[in-house]
Structure 1
C-alpha cells in the first residue's frame, strides 16, 4: 500500500508509529471468520482490547487523527474489524464527551474489550431527521421511564450498554431530546428483530416498554440530547470517511495486482492506456478523499469547537469516492469481481452502507450548504 500520505503535515510521529504498529498487528490477526457474526464481533472487541487499540476509542479527549488512522487501517484488512472498533467509540462517544465520572466507569470496560457498546439514535420514523425522534422519557419519582422503538442499531443484541436518545419534552423538535445510559440487562428493553444486511454486521430493532432508569442515567442536561448527538457525530463522521478510505485503498491494491497479472490481447492489462486511466482516476479520488478526511481530523485535534462543515465534506466525498473506486476495481476484475468470496466483491458490499449511516450523502450536502449560506 502507498503510505506516502503519512508524511503529510497533518500527522505527528506518534501517528505514524500507531499506523505502522496497527498494520503489523492487523496483518497477523485479520481477517477473521464472519460465519457467526455475533461471535466474530465479540472476538474482535476482545482482541482489539487485548492489543491495546481500544484505548483510543474513548476518553475525555479524543484524538480524531488516531481514530481515523485506526479505522482506515482496520477497514483495509477486515471491514468487520473496523465496525467492531468504530462502535466502541461511537457507542460511548456521548459518555466520553459529556458523561459524569460515574458514567465514565463504563469506558474502563469498553476500552479494554470487556464490554460492547451501542449507539441507539435511529427510529422507524426518524433516521437522518433526528428532530422527529418519538421515543419518550418521562420523569417518575427520582428517575425516568422510557418507551419507544429504535432500529438499525449497531451491536443491537450483543451490546452490554447503549446510549439512547429520547424525547423529554423541554421544547418542540430537536430541543426536547435527552441522552441516557442504558445497560442492556435493564428490564423492559427487548430485541424484537435481528436485521440482516448485505455486509455482515450485528444490527437489531429494539423496543423499550416501561424501561426504568435512575436519575443518574441522564447524560448531560435534560434537553441537550440533540446537541450531544450532533457533537458526537461531528467527532466520528470523519472516521466514517477514513473507513471508506481504507476500503478504497484495498480496492486499488487489488486492482493493481489484477491488471499487472491478467493478460489481455497478448499483454498485461496494465499496458492498456484505458486501464491506466482508470488506475489514475482511482488514485486521484483516494488522495482527494484522504486530504478531506485528515483535514477534518487535524482541524478538530487543533482545538476547533465544531467541524460540522469539514466533517460533512469528509464523510460525503470519501464514501462516494470509495464507492466509485471499488466499482471500478470490480470492473477491472471482470467476472471474478462479482464472484462471492473475492476481496473486491466483499468491498462492494461493505462500502454501500457508509453512504447512509451517520447521515446519508444527501443530508451531508444539506449540512454543507446550510453552513456556507449561514456564513455568507
Structure 2
C-alpha cells in the first residue's frame, strides 16, 4: 500500500476533508458485497446490514455515508427486491419489480423497472442529510419524481441505448424521502447516489450482484448499458473489487479470472480510479479450500504486479474451520452479521492507513 498506488483516492480524501468534493468509493462484488446473510435470512435487508453500510458507521478517519447503490443486486424477483434494502419502500400495489432478463443487465445486476400505472411508486428514505440525487436510468419511458410528498417533476431528455444520469435537486440539506413513479410507459432505474452540496463525504456505493463471477462484470452483451461498458463510469476515486468465490466454484484454474481482473484494473485506472482487491474469506469444503487458496495466491500476485492494495480476509482465519469457529459464518459461502463487521473493519483499517498520509 503506497501513496503512488493510491494517488486518486488520496486526492479524493483531501478534497473531502477540504469540503470541496465528495470522494466516491465503488464496491464491485458478488452476494457478499450485496450483504447476503448479514440479516436473519438471505434477503433480509442485506444492503442495510452488510459490510459496505457497516463500514460507513465504523469509519472515523473520514466522514462517510453509504447512501448509494447501483443495480438490483441481481435479486431474482419482486419479493427479494422489496426486502433487500430497508431504505427502499414500495407501497401496496406498486408495479416496481425486477427481472432476470439479461437484456437489461447492468453494473450490479439488472435494472429496477415499473410498467404499470399511477400506483407504481418507489420511495428511498436517505439515512443522512442530503440535497442532491444522481439517478442513473434508461430512457424508455418518463420517470416522475417528488420529494417529501411535494409536487412531481418529470425527468426528460437523455440518450437512447445507454445509461443516463439526471441530477435531482432535493431542496434543503436534510433527510429526505424521494419518490419515483412511472409517468409514461415502462421506466428503468439503474441506481441512485445521494449526496450533499454542503457537507462533503466519502460516498460508499454498493454495486454487489448475487451469483456474479468476474465474467459478468466484463459482459457487454446488453450493449450500451452493459456491466462491461459501465463499471468504471460512476466517478469513483477508488474501486474495491471483492470477487472470485463464485469463480473458484465454477473453475479450478484461476487464470481466466485473473485475466478478467487485470482487464478491470486496466479499465478502472484509465477512468481515473485506484483499485483495491479483496481475497475472500474461507469457504467450506476441503477441495474448495484448496482451489480458493490458489485463487487468493493469484490475487495477491496480481495485486503485487500491478500495484493494487490487497486486503486478505484469510489473514486471520486461514481455514473455514477457523472462520466458522469464530462465529463469523452464516453458511459455507457467506459471512453473518459479525462476519460482515470483520470485513468492514479490515477495509476500515486500510482506509485509515491511507487517510493518515492523505
Larger of the two Rg values belongs to structure: 1
Structure 2 length as normaliser, TM-score? 0.29
Structure 1 length as normaliser, TM-score? 0.28
Which of the two has greater helix per residue?
Answer: 1
Q: Which has the higher contact order (CA 8 A, sep 6+)?
A: 2
